[in-house]
A = this chain, B = another copy of it.
């Protein structure tokens, strides 16, 4: 359950272009991410078309429902820009001409050597008693208005203008008006275990009711998120993490949010490669550059990409061979002898009906390891899983080997 004292936020994106799907709503995700960081409870995203009656109704609904509304869109100079008018109608608030908004707008047009068109005048009309949010990046001033329950932050829909207004004015106002004890988000990043299987294991644990458990299935990683109320101390959080990690076993490749931030598997590998000061050469087939793309230019020395395995084999003077882990180790070893990298990774594959068996080998001066995996589904899925399999093996290799650091 979300804590009772967390302010409730509605994110409101207006406009025909959003509601018809002509534009993907990236503003909502951006604003939501900030709200999450601030510890707010985001209860709705709503989008409405440029229809005055609908806008008025939705504004009233939001006022009854939320403490904060972050609203974007509808502040332009054209006839379908209706936010200010709708706000005025919804809350019986007269609109007042704001001289400073007007002056700033004139200045914007002056810089372009254009006479300010008369229609832009409406952008200087703001609700009485609202606080203007200056727009240094476009013509429409925004405003902060307090109605019955809800504090409305109305900003332009243009992402560049909105983000600047957030950074310059709105975030400070939110922090000043709404102090929150943030809940704590811990993400266990897993691979190789389906979300159903994870659910079943977690079910066996009977975690405390006030810990919110949430799943995010992805490709190739599945995330298990644990959200602890702010009053949980480090020890309690750590005990819980250990308990969950215990039932999920080797599928947890990183824990994000408890001391360390780890975004995903490539980030995990990157941090290890940097810490251990290793360099890497790659030969890859079915992943078709996917492994290289997820490496970092700081330690990836090269990747030979060849979608067909036969081209790799002939390069090493091998005509015909079963594609096995030991073949991958053999090729990786030969390649390793010829290059300057600390580690060499080779990924090969062969077909198995509609499926593919991917084999991967990781070789260093002192050790080697290998793995096989059956890849199913459409090609893109196979390719993503092939890259992940390779990176995961590299990760294990880095953890299990002792590299002297300088």
Given A43-B54, A45-B46, do A79 and B21 touch, yes or no (CB 8 Å)? no
Shortest Cβ gap from A149 to chain B (Å)? 17
A172 interface contact, C-beta 8 A: no
Taking CB atoms, residues of chain B closer than 8 Å to A2 are 51
In the complex, per-residue mask of A194-213: 1 if CB is within 8 Å of any chain B CB, else 0: 11111110010000000001
Taking CB atoms, residues of chain B closer than 8 Å to A216 are 16-17, 22
A79 & B199 in contact (Cβ 8 Å cutoff): yes
Least CB separation from A46: chain B residue: B46
In the complex, per-residue mask of A145-162: 1 if CB is within 8 Å of any chain B CB, else 0: 000000000000010000
Q: How far is the CA of A80 from the CA of B199 in the complex (A)?
A: 10
Shortest Cβ gap from A113 to chain B (Å)? 8
B44 & A32 in contact (Cβ 8 Å cutoff): no
Q: How far is the CA of A48 from the CA of B43 in the complex (A)?
A: 6
A46 & B44 in contact (Cβ 8 Å cutoff): yes
Taking CB atoms, residues of chain B closer than 8 Å to A35 are 20-21
A25 & B24 in contact (Cβ 8 Å cutoff): yes
Q: Contact partner of A78 among B17, B26, B46, B215, CB < 8 A?
A: B215
A195 & B77 in contact (Cβ 8 Å cutoff): yes
Given A21-B32, A28-B25, do A44 and B47 touch, yes or no (CB 8 Å)? yes
Least CB separation from A18: chain B residue: B45
Interface size on A, residues (CB 8 A): 65
A233 interface contact, C-beta 8 A: no
Q: Contact partner of A196 among B33, B120, B203, CB < 8 A?
A: B120
A311 interface contact, C-beta 8 A: no
For residues 271 through 287 of chain A, which have their beta carbon under 8 Å from a beta carbon of chain B?
none
Q: Contact partner of A21 among B16, B28, B46, B194, CB < 8 A?
A: B28
Taking CB atoms, residues of chain B closer than 8 Å to A20 are 32-33, 35-36, 42
For residues 36 through 85 of chain A, which have their beta carbon under 8 Å from a beta carbon of chain B?
36, 42-51, 54, 58, 76-80
Q: Contact partner of A194 among B18, B34, B114, CB < 8 A?
A: B114
Q: How far is the CA of A13 from the CA of B22 in the complex (A)?
A: 17
Q: How far is the CA of A372 from the CA of B215 in the complex (A)?
A: 55
A111 & B214 in contact (Cβ 8 Å cutoff): no
Q: How far is the CA of A35 from the CA of B32 in the complex (A)?
A: 26
A117 & B36 in contact (Cβ 8 Å cutoff): no
In the complex, per-residue mask of A94-117: 1 if CB is within 8 Å of any chain B CB, else 0: 000000000000000001111011
Q: How far is the CA of A386 from the CA of B163 in the complex (A)?
A: 24
Shortest 4 CB-CB contacts between residues of A and residues of B: A21-B32, A45-B47, A21-B33, A117-B196
Beyond known contacts A43-B49, A50-B214, A114-B194: 8 more, CB 8 A cutoff: A16-B216, A16-B225, A19-B42, A21-B35, A25-B29, A44-B48, A77-B196, A117-B200
